[in-house]
Amino acid sequence: MNSACYSRAILYRKAQGKKRLAGYKDKIELLLHSDFDPARLLRLPETDKLISELQARNESSCEPLEFASAAASLDFASSRMADRRVYLLIDDDWKYCGAYRLESARSLCTGFDFDQAKSDEVRLISSDFCTQLSIDYSEDRGVGIFECCLRTYAST
């Protein structure tokens, strides 16, 4: 994509982000059980670089897991990503608002309610780009299913 097209795309995403930001903030506050800090929100070009860096790496392993509750899946995420600085991406809102930087995944609230937050995906990417953990929420006949995937990447 040339720079003029990328600039237009960024402008469009920023405009969409203004519409989505309040909902994104709410999701972040519910997931972290703390106030939203605008200083932790990455700008869109920074977020794009983060995704490009991850995509440039070779996936070395993928560990799929399934949990019956949000608490269990978030507890797993917290334990696996606890001692790392991470980037938080929720649903597709991050594409328009930016990734959110965390000092540790320990701050995840295991009481997060995906239905209440109108959310179906939480993704954590380690700041060294060696690990990504995603939680995908779906419902089947009234039963919540939390599919996790823990991916590790080789250095480039």
Residue spans per domain, the chain: 3-154
pLDDT digit string (tens) for 95-128?
Answer: 999 999 999 888 899 999 999 999 999 999 999 9
Start-to-end CA span in the chain (Å): 23
Average pLDDT over residues 88-92: 97
Q: Give the pLDDT of residue 156.
A: 64
Q: Give the pLDDT of residue 1.
A: 67
Average pLDDT over residues 142-152: 93
Element (H, E) at 95: helix 94-97
Q: Give the pLDDT of residue 140.
A: 86
Please name which of 78, 74, 57 lies closest in space to residue 152, comparing C-alpha atoms. 57
Per-residue pLDDT band for 47 (boundaries 50, 70, 90) equals very high
User: In this structure, what are the phi and psi dihedrals at residue 76, rounded to the nearest 5 degrees?
Assistant: -60, -45
Average pLDDT over residues 126-149: 94
Q: Give the pLDDT of residue 58.
A: 93
Q: Give the pLDDT of residue 107.
A: 85
